[in-house]
Structure 1
Amino acid sequence: MAPVLTPYSNDGLFSVQLDRILPYAKYLSSTGIDAVLVNGTSGEGMSMTVNERKAVAEAWVTARKETNQIIMVQVGGACLKDVQELAAHAESLGSDALLCLPELFNKPQTVDELVRYLKYVAQAAPKTPLLYYHIPSYTGVNVNMPQFLATAACDIPTFAGAKYTHNNLEEATQCLEVKNGTLGFFLGCDHVLAGAFALGCDSAIATSLNMFPSPSIKILAAMRNNLPTEALQEQRKLSDAIRVITHNGSWVSTMKAAMSVMTPIDVGPPRPPLTPLSDEHTQELKKDLAALQLL
């Protein structure tokens, strides 16, 4: 599943460019990506208004009529009432699943606080599977995840799993065992795909799938075919590319630059306070990607 980037205008106004979403969806489909996460970290969902987030979700659901892609919508990162409104809206569109960040200011401190919060979100969309977005490097919320998953699965009727953006593979392995492994569990860390797949993970939501999906797809195929050496080779290619891309900026800023450089889809700059790559750094990126034979 690719966490899609939100296209903004290049005129300094950072307006959402909805007309770029259908070509974007078709491009991803042509590269073998049949599922997308909308309004996540890479999509800068937390930097958009509620109406913008709704419009972006609507555009991806409309594009699905031509691509048949699975749609997961990230609804968290706002006040609870807005999160509930976004959840209800995503359900009304027929989204396949919801993903939700924790409250980002009054942060949940315990498993019970986090489960209670997600209960309120789930009540707004009672027919749609709900997953939790665990990304402690951004949110600062780092509860015991196996315990959280077990509690949420018991207490929230629609709870379906998590996106786990962390490199703690010991904890990830424990998460895979919760509820006899029936919960959805998406790894969100591109750097450790091979290790996670070796330990039993079989799903990922990785930003690099937007612009160069081949290594990740090959890693999973190699592990399924019991070819760990091939998986490691592909992981090294992927990690080298990510190192080159993120060398001169933040994750979202550099990934947006890479998307515009490596594909026919122009996703524009990031929205402030994130800053776009300078022209100098963009040229350096092109040179380094060419050296890795990615251009």
Structure 2
Amino acid sequence: MIIKKIEGLIAAPFTPFDENGDLNLEQIPAYYQSLKSNQVKGGFICGSTGEGVSLTFQEKVAVVQAWSTLTKTDPDFKLIVLLGGTNIRECIELAKISEEEGVDAISFTSPFYFKPANVGQLAACCVEIAAAAPNTAFYYYHIPVLTGGNYPMIDLLKAVDGVIPNFAGIKYTHEDFMDFLSCMNFAGRKYDMLWGRDENMLSSLILGAKGAVGSTYNYAAPLYHDLISAFNAGDFERANALQQKSIDMITLLGKYGGISVGKTYMKLIGLDCGKFRLPIKNMSQEQFVAFQSDVAELEFASFSSK
């Protein structure tokens, strides 16, 4: 399989819920159009931001089908499905369904209850799952802060190289720049390394990253387009300032409760994705008032997605 490397921004969409906490699939067409109009190149669905671990298997299938219906005929938009991590059999089943639906890529993250004893065991999981969708690109999703699977990714690449024909690369959501660069340079830069820390994008660009997957690209894509343009033009002072703006925006997530605050940012650009499911805590109405004040001070409207 010839793997074409991804360049540009890939958003990690939120899964839309209605007021009862059920799937609101009717929101997805408008969501897709919003990403397209803001020059986002794809979506990484059912991931951390998409609450994949809080969805039933049937809900994941429904989300995949809702997105793939829109994207399967769009060669300019890459749809990547996070299959999960803990239940390998379910990952295999969803991999098969995803290939049938014509998605561009599938992804798998480290099992986080019964953890692989070593990289070899992790690679064995990847082998079985990737084989279930042999005609679809396969990405490993490295996010040890959530999975506890803090394996060197350079060791994983060595373990799967020449073994998994459709292994495309890694979505790298970690701060180990030494490991990231080693992965980028491995086997003549064979594999696609997608950066996964929005607040550290500038550092990844310096190392040569071309593609990135992140949650804040859902609602602040223009900020990152400007950052990339400034970097490419050699205007490092402006790139620095734009990265700081990203950090200031992301700091508000921590101030007001974490990942769920992203859905509040989405409301500000006109896409109501509902609330996060338990065990995640959502913002109170009192917090929302204070949040709006902080967002105005940040001048969010000047760089938000439209």
TM-score in terms of structure 1 length = 0.95
2:272 to 266, 276, 293: 266
Residues 68-79 of structure 1 aligned to structure 2 (within 5 Å): 69-79=77-87
What residue identity is the alignment partner of 2:276?
P
Identity among equivalent pairs (%): 29
What residue identity is the alignment partner of 1:242?
I
Pairing 1:43–2:53 present: no
Q: Take 2:59 and 2:22, find their aligned partners in 1: how far apart are those partners?
A: 9
The corresponding residue for 1:94 is: 102
Query: CA-atom RMSD, angstroms?
Result: 1.4
Q: Is the 8 A contact 2:91 2:129 kept in 1?
A: yes
Q: Is the 8 A contact 1:257 1:276 kept in 2?
A: no
SS class of match (1:163) = strand
Offset, 1:54? 0.6
Answer 1 or 2: higher relative contact order, Cα 8 Å, separation at least 6.
2
Q: Take 1:243 and 1:34, find their aligned partners in 2: how far apart are those partners?
A: 25
Q: Take 1:54 and 1:263, find their aligned partners in 2: how far apart are those partners?
A: 27
The corresponding residue for 1:219 is: 227
- Segments ≥4 residues shifted beyond 4 Å: 65-68
Q: Take 1:39 and 1:185, find their aligned partners in 2: how far apart are those partners?
A: 20
Q: Take 1:217 and 1:49, find their aligned partners in 2: how far apart are those partners?
A: 35
The corresponding residue for 1:121 is: 129
The corresponding residue for 2:23 is: 16
Residues 83-232 of structure 1 aligned to structure 2 (within 5 Å): 83-232=91-240
Q: Is the 8 A contact 1:245 1:255 kept in 2?
A: yes
1:290 to 266, 279, 296: 296
Give the length in aligned residue pairs.
Answer: 291
Pairing 1:245–2:253 present: yes
Give structure 2 stretches of 5+ with no counterpart: 1-9, 302-306
Q: What CA deviation, in whole Å up to 9, does each residue of 1:216-267 have, x standing for no partner?
A: 112222222222222111101111111123312022x11112111x211100
Q: Take 1:65 and 1:292, find their aligned partners in 2: how far apart are those partners?
A: 37
Offset, 1:108? 1.2
Q: What CA deviation, in whole Å up to 9, does each residue of 1:37-63 have, x standing for no partner?
A: 110100001110111001101111112
Q: Take 2:91 and 2:67, find their aligned partners in 1: how far apart are those partners?
A: 19
